C-alpha cells in the first residue's frame, strides 16, 4: 500500500497484508492478473499508472515459497473551493437568502469564483499550508461561516490538516471534491484548542498548532479526525463564558513483534504514534544463529529488520 510521509513530502509502498492463492508449479503469475483485496480502503485503487503491478511477477515454486507483490496506490484528488455558489448567503437560521461573489487571500494571492484549487492531494497528506481560512466577511453583519461540503452535508469551520477519509469519501469520478464558501448573519466568534498527547511523556498534552478562532451560530463544534490520534472525550470540555473548546487527543499505540522465521524473538508493546524508535531499545541486533548441518552462518552479517519474509 502506498503511504504518504509528511516529513519528506514523498510516498512509498509498505507491506499491508497477505492472502494465499494457488497456481501450477512453474507457471509465471503477474500482479495484473492476480486476485486483489476483497475491500479496497477509501482513497486507494489498484496501481496501474506507475508500472508497479505491470512489472511484478513470480514463478511458482514447488515448496510454496513464491511471493507475488500486488500494489495499491493512493488516489490523487483535487479540492475545488467555490466562492460564488448559488445561495451562499444565509440568514440567522441558516437558510439561503442571496448569492454573492466572495473573495479570499491564500499565501498572499487573492482568489474569486472557483479559481482556487489544491491538486494532487492524497489520503494522509498535510494540506494545512494551503487550506484557505482567510475568507473575507461580506459585511460586519454577514461573516464567513465555513466551507460547506454538500456531499457530506457538513461545514469545515476550522483549518484542515491531514487529508482524512471524510474529506474524500464523496469525490466525483474525476476525483474532485468541491467545498462551498458560505456567509451567515448573527454569528459569534469561538475559540478551539487541540491538546495532543506528548509522544515522549504520555502524561503531558501540548496545545497544538491546530488551535484557532472560528465563527458559528451555536456551540456545536465536533472534534475533528487527526491522523495518528484518537479523541479523548472524557478530558475534553467547553467553557460557555469564553466560548472556548478544549479538545484532548491520545496518541494511537502500536506493537512491534520481532521474528526470526516463525520464532518470536521479542515484542515491544504500547509504542506511541510518532515516538522515536531509532534507539537500541527497538533496533537491537539479535545473536547470530548457531551453525547447523544444513547451513553455516560464519560469514553471515546482520541485515536488519523487514516487514515481510521476502
Cell, residue 172: 466525483
pLDDT score, position 279: 85
Query: How many percent of the chain have pLDDT more than 70?
Result: 99
pLDDT score, position 287: 86
183 pLDDT tier (thresholds 50, 70, 90): very high
Which region among 88-92, 141-145, 180-184, 300-304 has the lowest average model confidence (pLDDT)? 300-304
Give the whole-angstrom CA distance, residue 292 versus residue 153: 65
Per domain, the residue ranges of the chain are: 2-74, 77-251, 256-310
Examine the pLDDT at 309 and tell me if it is beyond 70. Answer: no
99: which strand partners? none
Q: For the residues 220-231, what does the mean pLDDT come to?
A: 91
Return all residues near 278 (Cβ < 8 A) that are at least 6 apart.
Answer: none
Contact status, residue 160 vs residue 128, Cβ threshold 8 Å: yes
Alpha helix positions (H), the chain: 52-55, 165-168
Query: What does the pLDDT look like over 290-299, one tens digit per residue?
Result: 898 888 988 8
Examine the pLDDT at 310 and tell me if it is beyond 70. Answer: no
Average pLDDT, the chain: 92
Query: What does the pLDDT look like over 131-168, one tens digit per residue?
Result: 998 899 988 899 999 999 988 888 999 988 899 888 99
Amino acid at each position: 500500500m502506498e503511504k504518504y510521509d509528511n516529513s519528506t513530502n514523498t510516498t512509498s509502498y509498505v507491506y499491508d497484508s497477505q492472502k494465499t492463492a494457488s497456481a501450477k508449479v512453474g507457471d509465471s503469475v503477474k500482479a495484473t492478473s492476480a486476485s486483489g483485496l476483497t475491500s479496497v480502503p477509501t482513497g486507494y485503487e489498484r496501481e496501474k499508472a506507475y508500472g508497479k503491478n505491470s512489472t511484478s511477477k513470480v514463478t511458482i515454486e514447488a515448496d510454496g515459497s513464491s511471493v507475488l507483490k500486488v500494489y495499491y496506490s493512493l488516489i490523487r484528488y483535487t479540492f475545488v473551493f467555490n466562492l460564488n455558489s448559488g445561495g451562499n448567503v444565509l440568514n440567522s437560521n441558516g437558510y439561503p437568502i442571496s448569492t454573492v461573489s466572495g473573495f479570499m487571500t491564500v499565501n498572499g494571492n487573492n482568489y474569486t469564483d472557483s479559481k482556487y484549487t489544491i491538486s494532487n492531494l492524497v489520503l494522509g497528506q498535510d494540506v494545512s499550508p494551503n487550506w484557505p481560512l482567510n475568507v473575507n466577511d461580506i459585511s460586519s453583519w454577514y461573516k464567513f461561516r465555513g466551507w460547506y461540503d454538500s456531499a457530506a452535508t457538513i461545514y469545515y469551520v476550522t483549518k484542515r490538516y491531514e487529508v482524512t477519509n471524510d474529506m474524500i469519501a464523496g469525490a466525483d469520478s474525476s476525483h474532485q471534491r468541491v467545498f462551498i464558501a458560505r456567509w451567515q448573519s448573527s454569528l459569534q466568534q469561538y475559540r478551539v484548542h487541540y491538546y495532543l498527547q506528548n509522544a515522549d511523556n504520555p502524561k503531558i498534552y501540548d496545545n497544538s498548532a491546530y488551535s484557532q478562532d472560528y465563527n458559528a451560530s451555536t456551540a456545536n463544534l465536533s472534534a475533528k479526525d487527526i491522523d495518528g490520534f484518537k479523541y479523548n472525550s472524557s478530558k475534553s470540555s467547553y467553557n460557555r463564558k469564553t466560548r472556548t473548546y478544549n479538545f484532548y487527543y491520545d496518541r494511537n499505540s502500536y506493537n512491534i513483534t520481532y521474528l526470526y522465521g516463525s520464532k518470536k524473538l521479542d515484542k515491544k508493546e504500547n509504542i506511541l504514534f510518532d515516538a522515536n524508535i531509532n534507539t537500541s531499545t527497538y533496533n537491537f541486533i539479535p545473536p547470530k544463529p548457531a551453525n547447523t548441518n544444513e547451513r553455516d552462518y560464519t560469514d553471515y552479517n546482520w541485515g536488519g529488520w523487514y516487514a515481510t519474509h521476502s
